[in-house]
């Protein structure tokens, strides 16, 4: 049922296709955090979670879940959730990655 709807609705298909890399990014961040438990891994984890939230808000918008959030409208709760998550995700994930890359080996 969902796949038939995804084929006829290009916006849902795009959102579901974006869900794949977002889930991969999130699962990699979870594994990295569980393995190292550093602040940089935590920044990556929060950033990846925010990016996953962006994709999930687009899925919710297309499927019209939580209509009280007025998905897709300017000045709505859904719009601010989407924008705030995108800004935090685009900022925190690369910041954690860069700080992890420049970390001195052997330091916590």
pLDDT tens column, 43-75: 999 999 999 999 998 888 888 888 887 777 788
66 inside domain = yes
Mean pLDDT of the region 9-21: 88
How far out from the chain centre does Cα 17 lie?
A: 13
Its pTM stands at 0.83
Q: What contacts 42, CB < 8 A, 6 or more positions away?
A: 33, 96
Using a pLDDT cut of 90, give the percent of the chain over it: 50
Q: Which residue segment(s) compose the domain that 87 sits in?
A: 2-101
107 inside domain = no
If one counts the domains in the chain, the total is 1
106 inside domain = no
Lowest mean per-residue pLDDT among 16-20, 35-39, 45-49, 77-81: 77-81
Provide the 8-state DSSP code for 72.
T
Mean pLDDT of the region 7-12: 78
- Output the pLDDT for position 6: 54
Task: Give the Cα separation of 108 and 104 in Å (integer).
Answer: 9
CA distances to 38, 55, 63 from 31, rounded to whole Å, are: 12, 20, 30
């Amino acid at each position: 049922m969902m796949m038939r709807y995804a084929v006829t609705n290009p916006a849902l298909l795009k959102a579901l296709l974006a869900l794949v890399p977002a889930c991969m990014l999130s699962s990699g961040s979870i594994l990295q955090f569980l393995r190292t438990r550093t602040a940089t891994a935590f920044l990556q984890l929060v950033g990846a979670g925010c990016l996953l939230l962006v994709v999930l808000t687009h899925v919710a918008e297309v499927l019209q879940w939580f209509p009280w959030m007025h998905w897709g409208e300017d000045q709505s709760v859904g719009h601010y959730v989407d924008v705030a998550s995108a800004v935090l995700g685009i900022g925190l994930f690369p910041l954690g990655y860069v700080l992890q890359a420049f970390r001195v080996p052997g330091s916590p």
